[in-house]
Amino acid sequence: MALLFPLVVLALASVHGGCAESSSREGGPRELPCPNAEDISPCECTLYNTYLMTMHCSDVDNAELARVFSAHFPFTEFWHLDTRRSERLDVLREGDLGVVSFEYIDITASGLKEVQAKALSQSYSTVKRIGLSDNQISSFPFDELPLFTSLSQLYLYSNDLDHFPQLESEYLTMVSLSFNRVSEIPVDGFKGVPNLEIFYFEGNNLRQITPGTFAGLQRLRGLYLPNNNLNHIHQGAFETSSTSFRVLTLSSSHISSIEPNAITGLKGGELWLDDNALTSVDEAVFRPLLEDEVQIYLEGNPLACECDIAWLVMRPELMSRIADAATCFNGQLLVDLDPAIYENLC
């Protein structure tokens, strides 16, 4: 029994310590480092790895959010702000988040239309990711980006931006502006983000890429631009000096023609041209890419498969880099085409 009693005490202490990480969801007062649960209701504070604090706020309006963050916070350095499904939240103002800073900020599926100047100022030096997707944002303080000295990822997916923003940050490596109302990327649009690696711009009704737009991005790894309205790809449109460029996605973008040397620097990477309007596989366009070991996806294009494709069909080492699902206009797979037909008739 003398040995049993200390073990019971230790077991009770472990249970008590474990409860400290979940009590906020039970509505009771919270032990440190979180604030008192009643003071921040309807938001909740939870812990991860003992000291990484997350604020969860769902279905809050402007006044409720401001009241929550006016409470006493014994510790103000939080790991994550997770705000979801707050349709009554339409503006984020300076002071609405009190004196609290975050490493990760996610406000999604809300009624948020405007992020005002200095609304995120407490996190200038701490925030690594700002995720403001599936909202209605038309106004964001892009001119403050240079002040976010830890920010590497900016998500503004599915909002209401109507022009390409001013991007200026030596820290940003990933930007998503997909599914907004931006129809043009200025040729100098990336001049201020020299370390950008990944750019998402799906579903914006983009009509053209000005040659040289991506040329200065020396660390570029991937461009994702599907579901646009590009039609014609000009020479130099996707030229880059990056040796890390590996993925270019142009799926479902109504592309009917591509000029030679429109796409360069993709050595050993992937080119997605599926579900477009290409009728030919121009040797001057595609042979340099295939010789650079680029895997090309052409499924869903009405390829004529006439003599223009003979150069490809008769070279199995190049044909092997065309994804197997590519078909002619009649549904016949390119991989099933008989090279002898083209050798004898073209």
pLDDT (tens place) for every residue of the chain, 346 residues total: 333 333 333 333 332 233 233 333 344 455 689 999 999 999 999 999 889 999 999 999 999 999 999 999 999 999 999 999 999 999 999 999 999 999 999 999 999 999 999 999 999 999 999 999 999 999 999 999 999 999 999 999 999 999 999 999 999 999 999 999 999 999 999 999 999 999 999 999 999 999 999 999 999 999 999 999 999 999 999 999 999 999 999 999 999 999 999 999 999 999 999 999 999 999 999 999 999 999 999 999 999 999 999 999 999 999 999 999 999 999 999 999 999 999 999 9
Sign of CA dihedral 135, 138, 142, 143: negative
Q: How is 242-285 classified by DSSP, letter by letter?
A: -S---EEE-TTS---EE-TTSB-S-TT-EEE--SS------HHH
CA atoms within 13 A on the CB side of 182: 25
The pLDDT value recorded for residue 49 is 87
Note the pTM of the prediction, 2 decimals. 0.90
Q: Round to whole Å and give the CA distance between 169 and 152.
A: 9
Q: Round to whole Å and give the CA distance between 114 and 225.
A: 25
DSSP state of 308: G
- Domains of the chain, by residue range, sit at 13-160
Q: Who contacts 86 (Cβ-Cβ below 8 Å, separation ≥6)? A: 57, 58, 59, 60, 61, 65, 107, 109, 110, 111, 112
Classify domain 13-160 at the CATH topology level. Answer: 3.80.10
